[in-house]
Amino acid sequence: MIYLKNNSEIDKLYHAGQIVKDTLYMVEEYIKPGVTTLDLDRMAEEFIISNKAKPGFKGLYDYPSTLCTSVDDEVVHGLPNTIPLQEGQILSVDVGSIYDGFYGDHAKTFCVGSVNSEKKHLVEITEECLYEGIKHAKVGNTIGDIGHAIQNIAEKNGYGVVRDLVGHGIGQKLHEEPQVPNFGLKGKGVLIQPGLCIAIEPMINCGSYEVYTKDDGWTICTKDGKPSAHFEHSIAITEKEIKILTK
């Protein structure tokens, strides 16, 4: 069931969204060669708690960490660890918060030092996919319009759009209806109505769209070993605007 939000609920989602936005701004300052993703995870958890919120991922579905940190061919859900980051890697950081019972969810892919042109282009196009998807998330359009817009840009650039993982509704649960695929057909799927709050999160691979799960049970990787990038914003759609809650 899709739960449309009122203005008061959107305000709470916005507050939770601002906390994850600020968390990623803070984390970005420390992303450099030699730092570990476990270091980043500890900083993020302390920051979220200091803002009178709770980490949104930790403990959910038994996930053990505050951040998802995914390097190079890791698409999403990478577990923070003690392996130092290296120059030339790309790092997706996904973070959630709970504030006053409502969730914030936000992700960006960062370059660790200087990266090659292949990775740089992938990161740029994936972010472009996100904003193109958001542009189509307006009242009267459908969820299929969002996915079609994302897929069109990604595939024009020769990239694979992950099929096995999708965006989602957001509210008092991290994952609510509807699912928001990053692929689709114009005019198909759920009709977008005022009060719909969703997380749009393109996961774009440099090669094939196929993925697999590592033995840790969490980390999703590209099957062909090529890099992947991931960006995510939570948004609220009203009659008047598309409000980005995490910006």
Which tens digit of pLDDT belongs to each residue from 173-229? Answer: 999 999 999 999 999 999 999 999 999 999 999 999 999 999 999 999 999 999 999
What are the C-alpha distances in Å from 19 to residues 109, 113, 175, 185? Answer: 18, 26, 18, 34
Residue 105: strand pairing partners: 96
Q: Is 52 exposed, middle or buried (0-12, 13-18, 19+ CB in 10 A)?
A: exposed
Q: Assess contact for 126 and 109: CB atoms under 8 A.
A: yes
Does 205 map to a domain?
yes
Structure-token match 């969002």, residue found: 146
Domain assignment present for residue 1? The answer is: no
CATH of the domain at 233: 3.90.230.10
Q: Quickly list DSSP for 22-56.
A: HHHHHHHTT-STT-BHHHHHHHHHHHHHHTT-EES
13 in a structural domain: yes
Closest CA to 107 of 91, 122, 121: 91
CA gap 6, 24 in Å, rounded:
27
Specify the pairing of strand 242-244 against strand 203-205.
unpaired
Domains: count for the chain? 1
2 within a domain of the structure (yes/no): no
The model's pTM is: 0.97
The domain in which residue 72 lies consists of 7-244
The dihedral of CA 170, 24, 226, 216: what is its sign?
negative
Strand partners, 107: 94, 232
Report yes or no on 23 lying in a domain.
yes
pLDDT score recorded for residue 56: 99
pLDDT in tens, 143-170: 999 999 999 999 999 999 999 999 999 9
Percent of the chain predicted with pLDDT > 70: 100
- For residue 24, what pLDDT band results from cuts at 50, 70 and 90? very high
In a domain, 227, yes or no: yes
Residue with tokens 């739960």: 3
